[in-house]
Amino acid sequence: MSLGSRIKQLRVDRGLTQQDVASKLEMGRSNFGHIENDRVTPTSEDLQKMADILNTTTDYLLGREAASATIPDWATYRDKRDFKKLLEEDGEIMFDGVPMSLTDRQRVMDVLTGLFWEAKQMNKHKKKTEPHANDDAPDDAKG
């Protein structure tokens, strides 16, 4: 799948029009259309803006990571910040006392990405369905 195809698929999945994205990028709709049709390659700055608008990463747009690693629609700014902090830790990932290769490290990070977002979603759902602490208290104690 090409860069333009990934951008278009995510845009459609998010319910956005070409005009919606073009406006956020501060460019004309036809220019954005040329990017989606792979006639024009976006600048690195525009690529980063597109990733932010489409709640994904530039690596996904460029075909460097799987779709499962895209940022979910429900993720808040704080969720994204927490995850970015987790990924940006510079410590080596070791396996059996040996540093992992870059390829293996990326594979581990992709799995962690999926697990992180799945856990976040489960926790958000759990918070919505859990009764409040005072709900089990006697009426006179709810004060």
- The predicted pLDDT at position 142 comes to 44
How far is 13 from 54, CA to CA, in rounded Å? 9
- Three-class SS state of 47: helix
- The predicted pLDDT at position 40 comes to 93
Please tell me the number of Cα atoms within 13 Å of 68 on its side-chain side: 10
- The predicted pLDDT at position 110 comes to 74
- The predicted pLDDT at position 42 comes to 93
Per residue of the chain (143 residues), give pLDDT as tens: 789 999 999 999 889 999 999 999 999 999 999 999 999 999 999 999 999 999 888 888 888 766 545 667 777 877 777 666 666 666 666 666 677 676 777 777 777 777 888 888 888 777 777 665 455 545 544 44
- The predicted pLDDT at position 86 comes to 64
- The predicted pLDDT at position 137 comes to 46
Domains of the chain: residue spans and CATH = 1-65 (1.10.260.40), 71-131 (no CATH)
Burial class (CB in 10 A: 0-12, 13-18, 19+), 10: buried
Percent helix / strand / coil, the chain, rounded to 5:
65, 5, 35
- The predicted pLDDT at position 96 comes to 62
